[in-house]
Chains A and B, each alone.
Chain A
């Protein structure tokens, strides 16, 4: 958020209401999800969403390291969201900065809400998200990928979690911000939803919106999540349809 000094602000909406990449206000960027792409991981997924490239791997339930973090009554959910140094225009110093740590935390909390952690006491479920190429919305892409990876790992959960950001540019609410819209827009609100209950397990917001706008933004986000949910299920069907076909051959 916030304008970057002297840089010229691009025209984010043209007179026909088309966005910088030609999308309408309610359009998602192209989203491709592939399940089971890593061999070593217990579950994995790759998400290409607009110009984002994000991989997620899931390990566990497995032994907890360090041991003192172990919980006697439930599994702990450990998440690491990490951006590659080359994933952004200006090289990012490798490693977890405060932003990544916070995002890791809220993603772990989101998943703990749908995982049956009490079924796996004294274990850890590890969710690892690597952002290889970033263009706004990487935490949402990470959640979308991690959901599919958890299902691919066969870890019981109440539902997949789709996620998307809603924002405001040039006074209009828009779905699924891209980088310019995030940098020069007026608001950014990433959210993740449990489709079965319709509840949000992740919600963050930065910027300015009226209460009325917030209501609309939430509706737009819910509709966006429903579309993404279908793509997540399709990715899993594709993966296991292939597995079944190979098994039968």
Chain B
């Protein structure tokens, strides 16, 4: 991931601060960066959103096209989530097939969307076994200043909420908003010694001893988790983080609900 040199002195400093309950950018242990959502950012997409977590910037575009259902799910539409870490986004990018980081990012976001049943795939079926809608959720990372997972899922959910089913364009009836059933939010924590901090910056990611992402939805369900990086969490850690994830999730859902701009704070 972060191939860029992280100096030992910076690592030591980040650890020292964490011990005292402080952070490099002055945030509290359980404080998110300022989160900004601009729905409908791209006119050419059927749904879209631009999301900022502090200086981390991602954009998501949703495209809906007629397709064929998979043979094993003849009554369901098709959902494809893809996250691209484009070379614009950080000095660590290397050309070639998607990096392990990009693949993990795509899969973690995809899992949360599927598990929370953000869209009812059966409603995307037009004629069983023959015709359905294919929903492409494409995420572009523009500026990687840490915590891509949370920003990417928020962008994806905001873009889906903003999406219209372009039925008219394909002669399938009237264009209507895409029905979004649930709103999962992922919240990522990293371990710095004994301190578990939320929404890590890239410096904190490069320093951390373990990362845990927890997705919750508006029903209070935990719908997806992902542990990453070298390091470990105790079951008590996981439980307390789940509680914190839900609290942050609720605030961010509120923000999505009102769109636009807000400072969820600590």
Tell me, yes or no, whether A49 is within 8 Å of chain B by CB. Answer: no
Interface SS of chain B: mixed
Q: A40: which of B45, B89, B94 is its contact (CB, 8 Å)? A: B89
Binding stretch for chain A, among B79-87, B187-195, B220-228: B79-87
Measured between beta carbons, the chain A residues less than 8 angstroms from B87 are 57, 59, 80, 126, 128
Interface SS of chain A: loop
Chain B, interface residues (CB within 8 Å), range: 20 to 34
B44 touches A128 (CB 8 A): no
B144 touches A40 (CB 8 A): yes
B42 touches A41 (CB 8 A): no
Measured between beta carbons, the chain A residues less than 8 angstroms from B94 are 65
Q: A55: which of B43, B46, B142 is its contact (CB, 8 Å)? A: B142
Measured between alpha carbons, how far is A88 from B138 in the docked complex, in Å?
13
Measured between alpha carbons, how far is A126 from B91 in the docked complex, in Å?
10
Q: B142: which of A38, A88, A89, A135 is its contact (CB, 8 Å)? A: A38
Binding stretch for chain A, among B57-65, B211-219, B235-243, B249-257: B57-65
Measured between alpha carbons, how far is A232 from B200 in the docked complex, in Å?
35
Measured between beta carbons, the chain B residues less than 8 angstroms from A86 are 42, 44-46, 48, 61-63, 136, 138
A128 touches B138 (CB 8 A): no
Tell me, yes or no, whether A113 is within 8 Å of chain B by CB. Answer: no
Tell me, yes or no, whether B11 is within 8 Å of chain A by CB. Answer: no
A85 touches B136 (CB 8 A): yes
B88 touches A91 (CB 8 A): no
Measured between alpha carbons, how far is A88 from B41 in the docked complex, in Å?
13
Q: How many A-B residue pairs have CB under 8 A?
A: 90
Measured between alpha carbons, how far is A83 from B142 in the docked complex, in Å?
13
Measured between alpha carbons, how far is A84 from B62 in the docked complex, in Å?
11
Chain A, interface residues (CB within 8 Å), range: 20 to 34
**Closest chain A residue to B89, Cβ basis:** A40
Q: A132: which of B95, B140, B143 is its contact (CB, 8 Å)? A: B140
Most buried by B among A59, A62, A86, A94: A86
> How far apart are A142's CB and chain B's nearest CB, in angstroms?
11
Measured between beta carbons, the chain A residues less than 8 angstroms from B95 are 65
Contact with B along A128-140 (1 / 0, CB 8 A): 1110111100000
Tell whether A130 pairs with B143 under 8 Å between CB atoms, given A51-B43, A84-B61. Answer: no
Tell me, yes or no, whether A82 is within 8 Å of chain B by CB. Answer: yes
B43 touches A130 (CB 8 A): no
Name the interface residues of A68-90: CB closer than 8 Å to any CB of B.
Answer: 80, 82, 84-90
B61 touches A38 (CB 8 A): no
B140 touches A130 (CB 8 A): yes
Tell me, yes or no, whether B121 is within 8 Å of chain A by CB. Answer: no
Tell me, yes or no, whether B55 is within 8 Å of chain A by CB. Answer: yes
Measured between alpha carbons, how far is A82 from B145 in the docked complex, in Å?
21
Measured between beta carbons, the chain A residues less than 8 angstroms from B45 are 86-87, 133
Measured between beta carbons, the chain A residues less than 8 angstroms from B63 are 85-86, 91
Measured between beta carbons, the chain A residues less than 8 angstroms from B88 are 38, 41, 44, 55-57, 128-130
Tell me, yes or no, whether A19 is within 8 Å of chain B by CB. Answer: no
Name the interface residues of B74-102: CB closer than 8 Å to any CB of A.
Answer: 82, 84, 86-91, 94-95
Tell me, yes or no, whether A53 is within 8 Å of chain B by CB. Answer: yes
**Closest chain B residue to A85, Cβ basis:** B138
Tell me, yes or no, whether A98 is within 8 Å of chain B by CB. Answer: no
**Closest chain A residue to B61, Cβ basis:** A86
> How far apart are A131's CB and chain B's nearest CB, in angstroms?
10
Measured between beta carbons, the chain A residues less than 8 angstroms from B90 are 40
Measured between beta carbons, the chain A residues less than 8 angstroms from B55 are 39
**Closest chain A residue to B57, Cβ basis:** A38
Tell whether A133 pairs with B44 under 8 Å between CB atoms, given A38-B142, A91-B65. Answer: yes
9 contacts between A and B (CB under 8 A): A39-B55, A40-B89, A41-B88, A55-B88, A57-B87, A86-B45, A86-B62, A89-B44, A132-B61
Closest 6 pairs between A and B when the two form their complex, measured CB to CB: A86-B61, A86-B45, A91-B63, A57-B88, A128-B88, A38-B143
- Could you list which residues of chain B lie within 8 angstroms of chain A, going by C-beta atoms? 41-46, 48, 55, 57, 59, 61-63, 65, 82, 84, 86-91, 94-95, 136, 138, 140, 142-145, 202
17 additional A-B pairs beyond A86-B63, A87-B44, beta carbons within 8 Å, are A39-B143, A40-B90, A40-B144, A42-B91, A57-B88, A59-B87, A65-B95, A82-B86, A84-B138, A86-B48, A86-B136, A90-B65, A129-B88, A130-B86, A132-B41, A133-B43, A133-B45
